[in-house]
Amino acid sequence: MFNQDQMKQIAGEAAIKYIKQDMVIGVGTGSTVKYFIDKLSTMRNDIKGVVSSSLQSTELLKTYNIPVLDLNSVGQVDIYIDGADEINHYLEMIKGGGGALTKEKIITACSKKFICIADESKYVPKLGTFPLPIEVIPMARSYVAREILKLGGTPDWRSGVLTENGNYILDIHHLDIQKPIELEEKINNIVGVVTNGLFAKRSADILILGKKNRQIEIINR
Ligand code: 5RP
């Protein structure tokens, strides 16, 4: 039986088979992505480079001398590889446990293909057990929290944490997420919200799951 870390490793490493010559790759953030980047280092001379979603991933890419590209210069990425905190059977996700959700969502929007890599504990019938992260402009923290209460959620300020964009994170507990796309849009419409961690409007195209039984399962949308 594999433990969670081993499941993350096989999922992250399996994504390498989707990487082709001269591609521009986008990478997310987190412990599963780390395994993908480790593997990508073996192909660093074959790709154009990587658009990174966080300082953490950028550091690792630089350690391997993988070229880090600016999204504004490349315009689009051929493939985006990222983890998730939860992913449902429509490949809609909750992301942002690591606080990098805004840059992750920006790269997602510019990607031709989105591959999610995860251990099997992340694959759930319904989103919402994992608290939904929302990045907010600091002065709007308490206003956004009050609006979230009206939606039935319980906001919890990730105190002491500033995102790379200089904002706060609210983690929302007890949300009843029946319609992820509708809720994503509703939360985005609250003034002061920068991004919410529902990745439903642009869901993943492919899910690579690492499983306890040491196997990989590929799920297409
Ligand atoms: C970071 C994320 C990560 O993808 C998510 O938290 C999963 O992380 P890990 O691979 O460490 O379990 O959304 O903002």
Answer for the pair 65, 59: CB distance below 8 angstroms, yes or no. no
Concerning whether 92 is annotated as a catalytic residue, the answer is no
pLDDT of residue 196: 98
Query: How many angstroms does the Cα of residue 28 sit away from the middle of ligand 1?
Result: 8
pLDDT of residue 139: 98
Query: How many angstroms does the Cα of residue 11 sit away from the middle of ligand 1?
Result: 13
User: Can you tell me which atom of ligand 1 is nearest the CA of 34?
Assistant: 10
Query: How many angstroms does the Cα of residue 84 sit away from the middle of ligand 1?
Result: 5
Q: Give the chain's residues under pLDDT 50.
A: none
Ligand 1 environment, Cβ below 6 A: 8, 28-32, 82-85, 95-101, 104
Query: How many angstroms does the Cα of residue 155 sit away from the middle of ligand 1?
Result: 20
Domains (ranges, CATH) in the chain?
4-125+201-220 (3.40.50.1360), 132-196 (3.30.70.260)
User: Can you tell me which atom of ligand 1 is nearest the CA of 33?
Assistant: 10
pLDDT of residue 91: 98
Cα Rg of the chain, angstroms: 17
d(CA 207, CA 213): 17
Nearest CA to ligand 1 atom 2: 96
From the candidates 86, 104, 147, 184, which is the catalytic residue? 104
**What's at 98, amino acid-wise?**
G
pTM: 0.97
pLDDT of residue 30: 97
Closest CA to 115 of 35, 177, 27: 27
User: Can you tell me which atom of ligand 1 is nearest the CA of 97?
Assistant: 6
Nearest CA to ligand 1 atom 6: 97
For the stretch 83-107, pLDDT in tens is 999 999 999 999 999 999 999 999 9
